[in-house]
Structure 1
Amino acid sequence: MKQTALAVERDKDNGRREVLLLVTLEADAEAPRAPVAINLVMDRSASMRGAPLSAAVQAAQALVDRAGPRDYLGLMTFDADPEQLLPVRAMDAVAKAQLFKVLSKLESGEGTALHEAVERGAEAVRRVLVPGARPQVLMLTDGEPSVGPSHVADFKTLGARIVESGVSLHALGLGRHYLPNVLEALTSPSGTGHHHVDNPEGLGPAVGSLSAELFGEVASEARVYVLPSGFAELRCRHVFPSRVEGDAMSASLGAVSRAYPRRVLFSGTLASAEWSLGVTASYVEGSDTRRVPVQVTRVLPDSAEGRMVRAVSAELDMASAEDAAWRALSNGASVSKRHHLTSEQALESMRRALEVANKSLELADEALAKLVRLNAAEVPPQRHLERLADLRRTIDRRAAHPHALVMRRARAEVSRITLSRVGVVPPVDEQPPSKLED
């Protein structure tokens, strides 16, 4: 495992000095991967009928095809009622053939019992002990929960409970009608983030990229510890679960896979001219828990390494502002429905929401412009242009038609940015049947 820590000191807007610390954990390309134990939880509700379900089946079959005899897979499907069609078991030739057959015969139903499906899917994989493998759930859905608990708080509690039980949760949202806040609440405690595709055609590449990560895991339970000296405050900029431990701060990065380096950015305001940062990384590799010190390298802001660290910070600023804009639009659209406002009150509510969305978009544009100026190869800005243009079009349409419903915009890129896992997928030893794409 390779560990690096880059620190950049720079001026803040308020005249004080700030330090950015970027810690990266990267698995060796030749390191042996761990076996996997995954329960695949697939939505087969009415909205999945036709092309979405067909694409989901093909994507799941690609995942099965990648599994080796040391890997364990199971299959649960859900509409109004979750059903564990096949138990989590070793993928020998017979088991793989049966899983392929069951997947090919899936049909859509009615209702979306998302909460119960995730809960039961985690219970099923937790009951199987595979030495060296973390029990995991991979959930695919295109809809909003219509059966059982539906509040974000319920899913946040469930996500935390699943992690406490030793299971990690991955999620993939399909289309524009699912609830990104729900998937974010479920996956944030696992430190995995949720993925998204707008249409069925994108499922193959998305699952291919995700399976390359799942089937390339080298280490698990990775955590970074930072002990600051000379700082007024220190915070973790990514959404990895973080906590204060005595005088140090730690962030849980989850698993580290081949070709998927894990990065976490910290920022802190200086209290004195003299400062230092002690960094330690810990992770589980095989059956061994390792804890290693990481040397902190101070780099100049305008050096290649300094621009890269600053680019990661700018990208996070952009993602945060973009997310705030979409939240403002969604909240503005739902206020009148929740509170039964008059037409005039609803228009005023939307006007305020549009003001917030426009200001947030301006901040996102400024961060993107900064990203372009920094010109860091590791953090390319091109991938963000289309999303911000899409946001601008949505704001303009809403201003022209304030009574129209705002389509929920999937924030996969945002959630992946907050986990530092956006980018071109490098080649790996085991290629899935579908082409890997960004």
Structure 2
Amino acid sequence: MKLTAWAVERDGERGRDVHLLVTVEAESDAPRAPVAMNLVLDRSASMRGAPLSAAVEAAQLLVERAGPKDYLGLLAFDGVPEQLVPLRLMDAEARAELSESLSALDAGEGTALHEAVESGAAAVRRMFIPGARPKMLVLTDGEPSVGRRSLADFRALGSKVAESGITLHAMGLGRHYLPEILEALTGPAGTGFTHVDDAEGLPVATAALVAELFGEVGTEARLHVRPIGFTELLCRHRYPARVEGDSMSVGLGALSSAFPRRALFTGQLELAEWSLQVTTSWAERGDTRRVTVPVQRVLPDSPEGRFVRAVGAELDLVAAEASAWKALLRRNPTAAEHALAHAEEFLRELVRLSVEQVPAKRHVDRLADLRLAVERRSGDVPALGVRRARAADAHTGLSIVQPALPIVRKARN
């Protein structure tokens, strides 16, 4: 594992602050575990046309990426879920069958999302593959219209799936899905979800998913941070966190090769002399490993310090953007303008820092849409904006926004 912990001390609003960025990344040549994954694909009426084609394209890329020791299955759902292809070892025959089943999908009526996830998880639990971590990937563009629909039901379902040992991933397609439902499903597993507004963004999003799903080398990763000389310590990313004795423990979920997990902490200093003790733990091939991560103090304007600051500025930008959309939804244009001003300032900070790994340009279009909505004070745009802002918040909050790896298509014989 590549482990780094960079700490930057700076003046804050209430005195001296320390910003700690911890990165955990598996080596690119580390042996990965086989994948056992059920693809749960929405084929409801709203998916007809381009959305269904996009979902099928994403699923086909996953099929192409699967290795000879991986297991994949396909459950399609509209008003009723149907396991079209059971989990099978991806030999040539099974790969061809799954690809043909995807190509033959037609749109139906209704969206039984809750039942589909339940059924898909049940199919995964019935198959035990030694050494493989069971997974599910949900691709959907709509809100549920059949069966259970409350957020509480989906939170309970997400917890149930995670407690059964299944890691659930999700991709929201189009502009009309409910990010809070996908967050409820994926939050207990610590995976977060990807959102794609249009077909143009699909290759980038799918490339990131491929890297994560087919590069897993460790599971149940956690960070343990013990602050000394601090009055408080906050985890800025939205990982599941808890107190363990005199330390904060943060769950990172699974670790994939060439797919770093990062967590940013901000602490308020009480003493001039301070320290941070960082350890990380993860499960690898049945063994639990625990390693101490040396904390390196870096200057704010060093390359490492600028990177730490850029990660924080991006998190602040996304939070301000979400606040602006929510203010518009509450018909409070003054608060929306104020939040937008903060978001634009954080964007300028990203531009000034000019950190390649945290590019400012990926936020420009979204803030332009927000500026237009604030100036128009429109009543029909904010609901969409809140969904997009919440989706971006969940995505960035789990520290999986990064330049996507290129998609490498496997040659067919």
Distance between the aligned counterparts of 1:157 and 1:395, measured in 2?
Answer: 36
Q: Does 1:390 align with 2:369?
A: yes
Residue 201 of structure 1 deviates from its aligned partner by 4.3
Change (3 A) 1:403 1:139: closer
Q: How does 1:338-417 map to 2 (within 5 A)?
A: 350=331, 352=332, 354-397=333-376, 399=377, 401-402=378-379, 406-408=383-385, 409-411=387-389, 412-417=391-396
- Whether contact under 8 Å (1:122, 1:167) holds in the other structure is yes
2:239 aligned residue: 240
1:370–1:403 Cα change, 3 Å: closer
Q: Distance in 2 between matches of 1:213 and 1:240?
A: 17
- Mapped to 2, the partners of 1:162 and 1:265 lie a distance apart of 28
Q: After TM superposition, give the deviation of residue 175 of structure 1 in Å.
A: 0.9
- Corresponding letter in the other structure for 1:246: G
The letter of the residue matching 2:33 is A
Contact in 1 for aligned 2:205/2:404 (Cα 8 Å): no
Q: 1:295 aligns to what?
A: 294
Q: Is the 8 A contact 1:262 1:421 kept in 2?
A: yes
Specify the alignment match of 1:340 in structure 2: none
Distance 1:395 1:40, change over 3 A: same
C-alpha distance in structure 1 between counterparts of 2:227 and 2:72, whole Å = 43
> Superposed, which structure 2 residues align to 1:49-198 within 5 Å?
49-198=48-197
Match for 1:381: what amino acid? Answer: A
Q: Extract unaligned runs of 5+ from structure 2.
A: none
CA distance in 2, matches of 1:229, 1:46: 56
Structure 1 residues 247 and 154 mapped into 2: Cα distance closer, same or farther (>3 Å)? same
- Indicate the SS of the match to 2:384: coil
Deviation at 1:199, TM superposition (A): 2.0
Matched to 1:209, the amino acid is A
Q: Distance in 1 between matches of 2:189 and 2:344?
A: 30
* Matched-pair identity in %: 60
The residue type equivalent to 1:384 in the other structure is H
Q: Residue 63 of structure 1 contacts residue 208 of structure 1 at CA under 8 Å; is this kept in 2?
A: no
The change in CA–CA distance for 1:112 and 1:70 in structure 2 (over 3 A counts) is same
Q: Using the alignment, how far apart are the partners of 2:320 and 2:286 within structure 1? A: 41
TM-score, normalised with respect to structure 2: 0.94
- Identify the residue that residue 274 of structure 2 maps to in structure 1: 275
Deviation at 1:285, TM superposition (A): 1.8
Q: How far is the alpha carbon of 1:226 from its aligned partner? A: 0.5
C-alpha distance in 1 between matches for 2:188 and 2:201: 26
Judge conservation of contact 2:114–2:144 (CA < 8 Å) in 1: yes
- Note the C-alpha offset of 1:299: 1.0
Instruction: Say whether the 8 Å CA contact 1:208–1:432 is kept in structure 2.
Output: no
Distance 1:356 1:82 in 2: 43
Distance 1:244 1:181, change over 3 A: same
What amino acid does structure 2 have at the position aligned with 1:140?
L
Quote the residue 2:264 is aligned against: 265
The alignment's C-alpha RMSD in Å is: 1.9
Deviation, 1:279, is: 0.5
Q: 2 CA distance for matches of 1:202 and 1:373?
A: 26
TM-score normalised according to structure 1 size: 0.89
Q: What is the Cα deviation at residue 46 of structure 1?
A: 0.3
CA offset at residue 280 of structure 1? 0.5
Q: 1:404 to 1:12 in 2, by over 3 A?
A: closer
Distance of 2:183 and 2:337 partners within structure 1: 24
* Equivalent in the alignment of 2:12: 12
Distance 1:48 1:116 in 2: 18
What secondary structure is seen at the aligned counterpart in 1 of 2:355?
Answer: coil
Aligned to 1:423: 402
SS in 2 for 1:264: strand
Q: Please give the alpha-carbon distance, in whole angstroms, between the structure 2 residues aligned to 1:73 and 1:222.
A: 24
Residue identity matched to 1:410: R
Look up the equivalent residue of 1:200 and give its one-letter code. A
Conserved? CA contact 2:51–2:174, under 8 Å: no
Task: Spell out, residue by residue over 1:34-84, the C-alpha distance to the aligned partner (whole angstroms, 9 max, x if none).
Answer: 111111000000011122212222221221111112101111111111111
Q: Is the 1:11–1:17 contact (alpha carbons within 8 Å) kept by the matching residues of 2? A: yes
1:405, distance to aligned residue in structure 2 (A) = 7.0
2:10–2:16: 8 Å Cα contact kept in structure 1?
yes
Distance 1:421 1:5 in 2: 18
Q: Number of residue pairs matched?
A: 409
Distance 1:314 1:267 in 2: 12
SS in 1 for 2:75: strand
Helix, strand or coil at the partner of 2:251: strand
- Write out per-residue CA displacement over residues 132-162 of structure 1, whole angstroms, 9 at most, x where no aligned residue: 2211110000111111222223222221222
Change (3 A) 1:151 1:362: farther
Aligned equivalent of 1:218: 217
Cα distance between partner residues in 2 of 1:8 and 1:208: 32
CA contact (8 A) 1:62 1:433 kept: no
Residues 204, 404 of structure 2: 8 Å contact kept: no
The structural deviation recorded for 1:376 is 2.3
State how far apart, in whole Å, the 2-side matches of 1:32 and 1:431 are: 19
Partner SS for 1:410 = helix
Structure 1 match to 2:250:
251
